[in-house]
Amino acid sequence: MRLNTLLLNTARWGRAALALGSLVFLAGCDFNFWRMDGHQSTITVDGPVARSQYDVFMVTVWVTIVIFVIVGAVLAYATWKFRAKSEADEHAETPPQSHGNPMVEIGLIAASIFALVIIAVPTLKAIWYTYDVPGGDTREKFDALQKKGEVYEVTATGYQWWFKFEYPTEQINGTGALVTANELVIPAGTPVRINVRTMDVIHSFWVPKLAGKVDMIPNRANHLWLQADKAGYFWGQCAEYCGDSHAVMRFRVVALEKKEFAEWLESQKLAARDVAPKVAATGAKAQFAALRSFKQNEYGFTEKFAAEKPLSSLLETWRAKQLPEKGEDADLIAKGKAAFAAKGCIGCHAVRGHGAMGVTAPDLTHVGSRTTIAGGLLENNREQLHRWIHDPGAVKPGNKMSLAYARNDYYGKPIDGIKLTAEDEAALVAYLESLK
């Protein structure tokens, strides 16, 4: 049924040949582009909405391929058959000056309309199917289904350049609904309605393997629905140009089986984890001085989630992230917690239970349990955390955090931006890592 299965074996042979070719191809990348099975493939999909969209696409592909073969054959034949063999032959005789045949025209118009009807019928079906959660197209019906646990609802909000995810049904005493950022965790096998909103410009919510995109437009209450067939780890990305760092406004979706999802919800509802400092503080080591420096524009550091890994192992990576790191330095973490407040991070970020209540930046209450940081751009590890807080503007041009670090305002006047010493950075990294 799928285009790529047909091509898969051919592609494997092709890759053997291209192992050699890649020496010539300095890119050194493998020749898998026509298999179209990347992390954001719209062909190898993992949910009913994306599958329905894929099926409509394949209808259009087959209809147009059939027409292309027929029309192309006639065109190629006519070009070959009626060509003048030489420049002298061009004027050998004047062809009949005919003007056309209305019956042929009408026949071809009818055939085109017929071909379009073949496409139109599944298109209409899929428009309604993909538009709203089946059986939950009004608020009342949806709520009834949600009470039975058959559907789920999340609100996704776009910011320049990250995503906020809010769980309206998961209220935390006194502080409102559960909020996370950049990694959306959903129950697998359950239709999830996603309300899409934006805080600034237009963004677009797109998880290709689960569903087509829907734009996040100011003053519009858009929504979409998606469903993951089974537990898995999925790539998403903003699909509407939204300014400087549009290309690096990414996110992940983690689908969990219902039981694990419920456990995850419980862990997330807890306030931020506290690591008590030891009595005898040893002081932070300037352990980051030795770390490599990153070059300007060196984006993307999620290669560890390599294409060859099966989805389940990525999920394992995610699960491992939920547990506290080994060898935590409690003193360093305590210092980091203090620096987080002293350096003004709390003005924008929230860490529930640690006094940080900012709402304009990602909620960091459980940031240590995410696999990525910086809007799905960097892998969440010590090195990348350091890279991110050391010089956010070099990672994500124009982002708000880099503006807080700036030495000059927009008009070039000097301002007092955030300044971090190597010690501060070490402590903050340790602190953020501890927020499981």
Partner 1 sequence: MDLAQSTHLTKEDHAPAAQPKLLWTPTAKTGLIGWLTTVDHKKIGFLYGFFALIFFLVGGVEALLIRTQLMFPNNNVLTAQQYNTMFTMHGTTMIFLAVMPLSAAFFNFIMPLQIGARDVAFPRLNAFSLWTFVAGAIILNIGWFIPGPNHGAPDGGWFGYAPLTSKTYIPKHSIDYWVMGLQLLGVASIAASLNFIVTIINMRAPGMTMMRLPVFTWMTLITAFLLILSFPAITIALVELMMDRNFSTNFFEVSGGGMPILWQHLFWVFGHPEVYILILPAMGIVSEILPTFSRKPLYGYPIVVFSGASIGFLGFAVWSHHMFTTGMGAVATAAFSLLTMCIAVPTGVKMFNWIGTLWNGRLMMRTPMMFALGFVWMFMIGGFSGVMHSAAPADAQQQDSYFVIAHFHYVLIGGSIFALLGGIHYWFPLMFGRKVSEFWGKLSFWVIFIGFNITFFPMHFLGLNGMPRRTFTYDANMGWSTANYIATLGAFLLGIGIFIYFVVMAYTFFKGEKVGKDIWDARTLEWSLPNPPPEYNFRVIPTVHARDAWWYEKHHKEEIAKEQAALAKAEAEHGGIHMPNQSIWPFVASLGLLVVGVGATYFESDWSPGIHAKLGTVLVGGVITFIGIYFWSIEGNAGYHLHLDENGNPIEDKHAKH
Could you give the residue ranges of the DSSP H alpha helices within 238-391?
A: 258-269, 311-321, 330-342, 382-390
Of 169-208, binders to partner 1 (CB under 8 A) are 196, 200-202, 204, 206, 208
Selected from 6, 17, 69, 127, the binder of partner 1 by CB under 8 A is 127
Q: Which of residues 359-418 bind partner 1 (CB under 8 A)?
A: 397-398, 410-412
| Identity of the residue, 211 or 364, whose beta carbon is nearer to partner 1 in the bound complex | 211
Pairing state of beta strands 192-198 and 152-159? parallel
- Report DSSP state, residue 353: T
Asked if residue 40 binds partner 1 (CB under 8 A), the reply is yes
Give the footprint of partner 1 on residues 137-166 (CB under 8 A).
Answer: 160
When the beta carbons of 275 and 314 are compared against partner 1, the nearer one is: 314
Q: Using the minimum distance from each CB to partner 1, give the nearer residue, 196 or 256.
A: 196
Question: Residue 391 phi/psi, 5° resolution?
Answer: -150, 80
Q: Within 13 Å and on the Cβ side, how many CA atoms surround 302? A: 23
| Choice from 11, 154, 178, 211 touching partner 1 (CB under 8 A) | 211
Check residue 25 for interaction with partner 1 (CB under 8 A): yes
CB atoms within 10 A of CB 137: 12
Site membership for partner 1, residue 98 (CB under 8 A): yes
Hey, which residues between 287 and 326 contact partner 1 (CB under 8 A)? 295-300, 302-303, 305-307
Among 48, 54, 256, 366, binds partner 1 (CB under 8 A): 54
Task: Please report how close the Cβ of residue 188 comes to partner 1 at its closest, in angstroms.
Answer: 20
| CB-nearer residue toward partner 1: 413 or 419 | 413
Q: Select from 56, 156, 226, 373 the one that contacts partner 1 (CB under 8 A).
A: 56
CA-CA distance, 48 to 28, in Å (whole number)?
Answer: 35
User: At closest approach, how far in Å is the CB of 143 from partner 1?
Assistant: 21
Judge contact between 297 and 355, C-beta under 8 A.
no
Cis peptide before 161 (omega within 30 of 0): yes
Q: Which of 243, 344, 358, 417 binds partner 1 (CB under 8 A)?
A: 243
> What's the closest the beta carbon of residue 136 comes to partner 1, in angstroms?
14
91 is an interface residue for partner 1 by CB under 8 A: yes
Q: How far is the CB of 396 from partner 1 (least distance, A)?
A: 9
**Is residue 8 within 8 Å of 2, Cβ to Cβ?**
no
62 binds partner 1 (CB under 8 A): no
Segment near partner 1 (CB under 8 A), from 114-122, 170-178, 348-356, 364-372?
Answer: 114-122
- Determine the size of the site formed for partner 1 (CB under 8 A): 121
> Packing angle between helix 422-434 and helix 382-390, nearest 10 degrees?
130
Q: Which of 310, 413, 414, 433 is nearest to 369 (CA)?
A: 433
How many CB atoms lie under 10 A from the CB of residue 201? 17
**Can you tell me the distance from the alpha carbon of 178 to that of 200, in angstroms, rounded to the nearest whole number?**
21
Part of the chain binding partner 1 (CB under 8 A), chosen from 127-135, 182-190, 348-356, 366-374 = 127-135
Give the three-state DSSP class for 167. Answer: strand
Q: What SS3 state is found at 58?
A: helix
Cβ-in-10-Å burial (0-12, 13-18, 19+) of 27 comes to exposed
* Residue number, 107 or 324, with CB nearest to partner 1: 107
